[in-house]
């Protein structure tokens, strides 16, 4: 990776972390209990694993500075959904969870992270 590519990659990781921090605060304020951040399995990860009452929630966080490439939620492809489901299955297996309701939520963040970005929490975003 050249220096410019490294800088861009580093910035996007920093934005991602900041976006996930905002999402976590939103979830806690809504009464969720955060279980795990950045659960990795294979080549993928689930950004946030939380409990909403008795429901285990796998949360994907999507951040965009602007709408040049469309709304953030539209970047979640069918392939990404399949990957998230596989990672969630691994989470169940690794943690020996058998009879636990779950859902997948998406939190989108649009705009400047430092000055009142638009945040949207989509519950049960896909099955």
Q: Tell me the CA distances in angstroms from 16 to 1, 96, 102, 110, one per residue in order.
A: 20, 29, 24, 12
What is the signed CA dihedral for 72, 76, 46, 42, rounded to 10 degrees?
-140
123: burial class by Cβ within 10 Å (0-12, 13-18, 19+)? middle
Percent of the chain at pLDDT > 70 equals: 87
Q: Tell me the CA distances in angstroms from 36 to 47, 87, 118, one per residue in order.
A: 8, 13, 24
Average pLDDT, rounded, for the chain: 87
Report the DSSP pairing between strands 102-110 and 55-64: parallel
What average pLDDT does range 2-24 have in this prediction? 62
- Residue 19 confidence (pLDDT): 84
Q: What is the pLDDT of residues 77-120, one digit of tens each?
A: 999 999 999 999 999 999 999 999 999 999 999 988 778 889 99
Q: Label residue 8 by pLDDT band (50, 70, 90).
A: very low
- Residue 10 confidence (pLDDT): 45
- Distance (Å, rounded) from C-alpha 88 to C-alpha 94? 10
Residue 12 has pLDDT above 70, yes or no: no
- HSE (CB half, 13 Å, CA atoms) of 87? 24
- Residue 45 confidence (pLDDT): 95
What average pLDDT does range 38-66 have in this prediction? 94
DSSP summary character for residue 13? H
DSSP summary character for residue 66? S
108: burial class by Cβ within 10 Å (0-12, 13-18, 19+)? buried
Domains and CATH numbers, the chain: 3-126 (3.40.1350.10)
Which of 108, 27, 21, 104 minimizes the C-alpha distance to 64? 108
Q: Label residue 15 by pLDDT band (50, 70, 90).
A: low
């Amino acid at each position: 990776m050249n220096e410019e590519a490294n800088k861009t990659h580093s910035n996007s990781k920093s934005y991602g972390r900041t976006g996930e921090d905002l999402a976590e605060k939103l979830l806690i304020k809504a009464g969720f209990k955060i279980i795990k951040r950045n659960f990795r399995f294979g080549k993928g990860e689930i950004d946030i694993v939380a409990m909403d009452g008795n429901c285990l929630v796998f949360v994907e966080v999507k951040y965009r500075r602007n709408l040049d490439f469309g709304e953030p939620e539209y970047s979640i492809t069918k392939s990404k959904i399949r990957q998230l489901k596989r990672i969630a299955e691994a989470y169940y297996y690794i943690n020996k969870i058998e009879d636990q309701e779950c859902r997948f939520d998406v939190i989108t963040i649009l705009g400047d992270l430092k000055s009142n970005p638009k945040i949207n929490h989509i519950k049960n975003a896909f099955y």
